[in-house]
Amino acid sequence: MDIDKNEQMTDEEMIEKGFQELLNDYLGTRHRKRVEIITKAFNFANQAHKGIKRQSGEPYIMHPIAVAKIVCNEIGLGSTSICSALLHDVVEDTDYTIEDIENIFGPKIAQIVNGLTKISGGIFGANASAQAENFKKLLLTMSDDIRVILIKIADRLHNMRTLGSLLPNKQYKIAGETLYIYAPLANRLGLNKIKTELENLSFKYEHPEIYTDIKGKLKATEAHRDEVFKNFTAPIRSQLDKMGLKYEIIARVKSIYSIWNKMQTKNIPFEEIYDLLAVRIIFIPKNEEEELNECFNIYVSISRIYRPHPDRLRDWVSHPKANGYQALHVTLMGTNGQWIEVQIRSDRMNEVAEQGFAAHWKYKEGGGSEDEGELEKWLRTIKEILDDPQPDAIDFLDTIKLNLFASEIFVFTPKGEIKTMPQNSTALDFAFSIHTFLGSHCIGAKVNHKLVPLSHKLESGDQVEILTSRSQRVQPSWENFATTAKAKAKILAILKKEQRTAQKEGEALLLEFFKNEELRPDPSNIEKLCKLHNTANKDEFLTSLGSQKFILGETDRNILVEKAGASWKKYLTFSFGASKDQKEKLEEKQNAEPIDKKKILKLTEDTIQKNYKIAACCKPIPGDDVLGYVDENNEIIIHKRQCPIANKLKSSYGNRIIAADWDTHKTLYFPVLLYVNGIDSVGMLNQITQIISQQLNVNIRKLTIEANDGIFEGKVQLYVHDVEDVKTICENLRKIKNVKEVKRIEE
Element (H, E) at 64: helix 62-69
Cα gap 458→465, rounded to integer Å: 12
Q: Which of 11, 21, 25, 93 is catalytic?
A: 93
Strands (E), 523-625: 601-603, 612-614
- Cα angle 70, 73, 76 (rounded to 5 degrees) comes to 100
Catalytic residue list contains 93: yes
> CB neighbours of 225 closer than 8 A, spacing ≥ 6?
251, 253, 276, 277
Element (H, E) at 486: helix 485-517
Whether 298 contacts 282, CB under 8 Å: no
Catalytic residue list contains 92: yes
Q: Which of 16, 92, 517, 731 is catalytic?
A: 92
HEC sequence for 313-351 = CEECCCCCCCCCCCCEEEEEECCCCCEEEEEEEEHHHHH
Cα gap 615→629, rounded to integer Å: 10
Burial status of residue 575 (CB atoms within 10 A of its CB: 0-12, 13-18, 19 or more) = exposed
Burial status of residue 256 (CB atoms within 10 A of its CB: 0-12, 13-18, 19 or more) = buried
With H, G, I as helix, E, B as strand and everything else as coil, classify residue 465: strand
With H, G, I as helix, E, B as strand and everything else as coil, classify residue 175: helix
The closest alpha carbon to 405, from 650, 214, 199, belongs to: 199
Task: Give the β-pairing of 670-679 and 739-745.
Answer: antiparallel
Cα gap 605→608, rounded to integer Å: 6
SS3 content of the chain, % helix, strand, coil (to 5): 55, 15, 30
Task: Give the β-pairing of 601-603 and 626-630.
Answer: unpaired
Strand partners for 249: 281
Element (H, E) at 573: helix 564-576
Burial status of residue 348 (CB atoms within 10 A of its CB: 0-12, 13-18, 19 or more) = middle
**Amino acid identity, position 126:** A
- Cα angle 731, 273, 712 (rounded to 5 degrees) comes to 50
The closest alpha carbon to 640, from 628, 654, 658, 632, belongs to: 628
Q: How far apart, in Å, are the Cα atoms of 498 and each of 502, 505, 545?
A: 6, 11, 13
Cα gap 218→201, rounded to integer Å: 16
Strand partners for 250: 280
Cα gap 139→142, rounded to integer Å: 5
* Catalytic (active-site) positions: 92-93
